[in-house]
Structure 1
Amino acid sequence: MFTQARVELVMSKKDTSVKESAPHTYDALYRPERTFPCWVGKTVPGTKEPLHRLVDKEKQRQNRKHSIKECQKVWGDYSGTDLQCDEYPFAPTKEGSTKGDDRFSVHLIDGEDNETGGRRLDRMYTLNRVVDGAPSA
């Protein structure tokens, strides 16, 4: 096991398959004041503070459920559309939306785009053998 290796998920804003999730992640990291929930002085982990993998499926589900509630507060009922609630930090991280510090971001984006980003995250974790609780960025 390489404990000092840095594992990163790279998504380009120029990549059309993640044309909505990549800018959302960028905004969460570098312009958190533009994200929801919105509050003065908000910061989001992932640049100076690493994210930590969460493999517990129930806790991931709770992160997603909490994020969806936040999306519904901002955008209302979007059921019956192709839109999904994208969250950062990602649901399979210990820094997800249920952490309790409101240092997360949600955005309503195209569902296929959101699922592509999720598959890439899962592939990064799998290919790099990132274990539960291990840091990544």
Structure 2
Amino acid sequence: MAGYQPDGWHTVTPRIVVRDPENLIAFIKTVFQAQGEFRAGRPAQIVIGDSIVMISDGDGLRDFMPAFLYVYVEDADSTYRRAIAAKAISLEAPADMPYGDRRAMVSDPWGNTWQIATHQRTLPAAEIPSRSDHDA
């Protein structure tokens, strides 16, 4: 009996709908070392680490739907450099975050925002500064 979701898929699967999905897929493969291929006429299933992202042109949808995604990678700095080399715009250079991640942020030419992170340490919740701690 088939399950309610395909084997290997998570319950929530992001889908990005853009003009020119073929080149967005090439960008993602270059920056995130993703796997998968463009498929004309149907959503591509692109694998980044242990996650699947569906990418298509929307097959007639009127509006495109860029994404804002937080992606864990082995090395945030080198991934950030690959993104910039692939024509992404820097929104934040790599920096250590108070919650234990090293993170950068870029915007790709299709309007998607990517937060690129490497988890460096786990902090007890009581030790993570609140937003108001930074405003003081």
State if a TM-score over 0.5 links the two structures: no
TM-score scaled by structure 2? 0.24
Higher-RCO chain (CA-CA 8 Å, sequence separation at least 6): 1
Kindly name which structure, 1 or 2, has the bigger radius of gyration based on alpha carbons. 2
Normalising by structure 1, what TM-score?
0.24
Q: Which has the higher strand share?
A: 2
